Amino acid sequence: MRIQCVVSYDGTKFYGWQKQPDKRSVQEVIECAINKITGEHNVIHSSGRTDAKVHAHNQVFHFDTQKDIAFKQWKRAINHFLPEDVYIKESKRVGEEFHARYSAIKKEYHYLLSTNEYNPFERDYIYQYPYGKLDLEAMCDCAKLFVGTHDFASFCVYDQLGTTIRTIYHIDIIENNGYFTFKLVGDGFRRYMVRMIVGGLIQVGAHRRSKAFLADLLESKGEKKCLFKAEPQGLYLEHVYYE
């Protein structure tokens, strides 16, 4: 049977989602937990990858197993073998046509930033922006550039195997007492795409770059590259949407 799970994790001590030799990954610790339960060599398939130090509130993955356990018990069983910085929030049985990655229709990321005085207790979870205030109105106006279907080759790391054309449905930026939340919803995001878009918007908010500068980058379709990548600690995979 195929089991779908929703997992949250603190990415601080991980080298990202994907398994890597001699490095701690979210995928590895979850697979190890499942294998202890099933006695099988299970491989989990996620909705996408997150990079080192990036967090997730609602990452989705699935796996196939022949182990006969009530689907609602998978949550408790897997959590029993997981470290404290990973937690299964939901588990359910799904049909074989479901795929955590290919069945997803859109994803939502949040990026958190603080312009307040440095707080060591927030350093792993909110980007501690050290350069003063940001112009919220300018960033909100500039964010409109990215809404719609575009070639985001200038705002991601890519190879020849996948398209860089993506659709962003909306970008919202909210400020509350020096804390900024960037909310991006799209049909998918290439590697570093969210962090580069946010990094560019921060430059506009700091009046170091203009809206026209970012528009030129976007229109170049990869001929020019965005050199502004926001720090990973502030990034969260917030939600994955399915039909």
Identify the helix (H) or strand (E) that includes residue 148: strand 148-151
Q: Which position among 51, 85, 124, 151 bears the catalytic label?
A: 51
229 token code pair:
């990548």
3-state SS class at 189? coil
Start-to-end CA distance of the chain, whole Å, equals: 20
Query: Which residue's entry shows tokens 């020849």?
Result: 160
Annotated catalytic residue 51:
yes
Among candidate residues 229, 105, 237, the one with its CA nearest the CA of residue 156: 229
- The CB density around residue 92, as the number of other CB atoms within 10 Å, is 14
State the Cα–Cα distance between residues 16 and 21, nearest whole angstrom: 12
Residues catalogued as catalytic = 51
